[in-house]
Amino acid sequence: MSKLHRRAGTLCDGADPVFLTPADAGWTYTGLRVLQLAAGESRTVHTGDFEAFVLPLSGSCTVRVDGQVFELTGRETVFTRVTDFAYVPRDAEVELSTVSGLEVALPMARCTRRLTPKYGPAEQVPVEVRGAGPATRQVTGFGVPGVWDHAGKLNACELITPGGNWSSYPPHKHDEASDCEVVNEEIYYFRIAGADGTTPSATGFGMHRTYTADGDLDENVAVRDGDVFLIPHGYHGPCIAAPGYPMYYLNVLAGPAPERSMAFCDDPAHAWVRSRWADEPLDPRCPVTSYEGRLA
C-alpha cells in the first residue's frame, strides 16, 4: 500500500478516527486529528506547538479556551450544512464538550506565534462554485488567506464534489517557491456519501491522483470514507467522485513561507482546461450546502 494513502482505520487513536502528526507524515508543519465524543462527553486537548481549527463534522459542541467560550452550531453531516468553527492557538488547553455527540476535525499547523482564540460563524463562510461542466464543485473557504487571516501558518478549506464530477482539476502543485507557487504540505481527508447523498458510508468510493512530471511519483488510488492522502510534493488531482457517491474532502495546508498562502501552479499539460469553463454550464447540483442547510 502507498505510504501516502492512509486508509480509514490506520490512523486511529483509540476511538478517535485520525491522529496524524507531522512526524507520522514525514514532514514538518501539517497535522490532523479527528475526534469522536459520545453524547454528554467532554475532552481536553493540549495544542502544544500547533495552532488548530475546531471544525465539527457531525454534531455541535462547546469550546472553552483561554477563558473564552464558543458555542459551535454544527451539522448532521459534512454534506448537509456549512458549519461554525473556531480557531485555537498553540500552547492552549482546549475543552470540547457536546450534548448529543460529536465528530470533530482539528486541522493543525506547527507555528511560532501565539494568537488569541477566535470564533468563526457559519454565515460568514464563503461558498464558491468552481469549475464547470463535469468539473463543477463546491469550495467552502472557511480558513483560507483573505477570508480568515487570524492564523500564523494554518490554511484549510472544504470541498464537495457531486457524484460523477471531478475536482482538484486541473492538477496543480505547490512544492517550490516561485512566481506562481509557495511550498505547502497538504492533507486530504475524505468523506464519501452513500446512496442517500448525505450520510457517509463505506460503500461509496472515489479516485485520487498524485504524480510528478518525471514519473518518480505516480499514485492512482481508490479512496473511501475516512481515508487520508498526504501530498508532500508533486501535482495532485483530479479527485473523482464515483457516480452516485458525492465526495467531501478537507484540505489542510501549511509550509515554511513567512506569510500564509495557497498559491499553486497548474500542470502546464492540462492548464488549458480552465479556458473551456467559460463556455460550459455549471452543474446545477452546486452549490450543495450553505450555512442555512442543504441546497441541492
**Residue 211: band (very low, low, confident or very high) from pLDDT cuts 50, 70, 90:** very high
pLDDT in tens, 113-161: 999 999 999 999 999 999 999 999 999 999 999 999 999 999 999 999 9
Q: How far apart are the C-alpha atoms of 129 and 227, rounded to whole Å?
A: 24
Please, where are the H alpha helices in the chain? 22-25, 273-276
**Residue 256: band (very low, low, confident or very high) from pLDDT cuts 50, 70, 90:** very high
- Tell me the helices (H) and strands (E) count for the chain, helix number first: 2, 24
Give the pLDDT confidence score for residue 43 in this predicted structure. Answer: 98
> How many CB atoms sit inside 10 A of residue 276's CB?
11
Provide mean pLDDT across the span 227-245.
98
Provide mean pLDDT across the span 63-80.
98
Q: How far apart are the C-alpha atoms of 5 and 231, rounded to whole Å?
A: 9
Provide mean pLDDT across the span 93-109.
98
Mean pLDDT (the chain, rounded): 97
Report field, pTM of the whole predicted structure over 0.85: yes
End-to-end CA distance of the chain: 36
Query: Is the pLDDT reported for residue 1 higher than 80?
Result: no
Query: Is the pLDDT reported for residue 296 higher than 90?
Result: no
- Fold held by 5-280: Jelly Rolls (2.60.120)
Provide mean pLDDT across the span 82-94.
98
Give strand pairing partners of 207. 222, 240
Q: Are strands 247-254 and 102-110 parallel, antiparallel or unpaired?
A: unpaired
Q: What share of the chain has pLDDT > 90, as a percent? A: 99
Provide mean pLDDT across the span 21-50.
98
- Upper half-sphere CA count for residue 276 (Cβ side, 13 Å): 11
Q: Which three cell numbers stand for residue 208?
A: 485520487
Q: Respond yes or no on whether the N-terminal peptide bond of residue 170 is cis (omega within 30° of 0).
A: yes
Give strand pairing partners of 86. 54, 119
Query: Is the pLDDT reported for residue 96 higher than 80?
Result: yes
Per DSSP, the three-state class of 138 is strand
Give the pLDDT confidence score for residue 292 in this predicted structure. Answer: 97
Query: Is the pLDDT reported for residue 2 higher than 90?
Result: no
Q: How far apart are the C-alpha atoms of 189 and 135, rounded to whole Å?
A: 20
Q: Respond yes or no on whether the N-terminal peptide bond of residue 126 is cis (omega within 30° of 0).
A: no
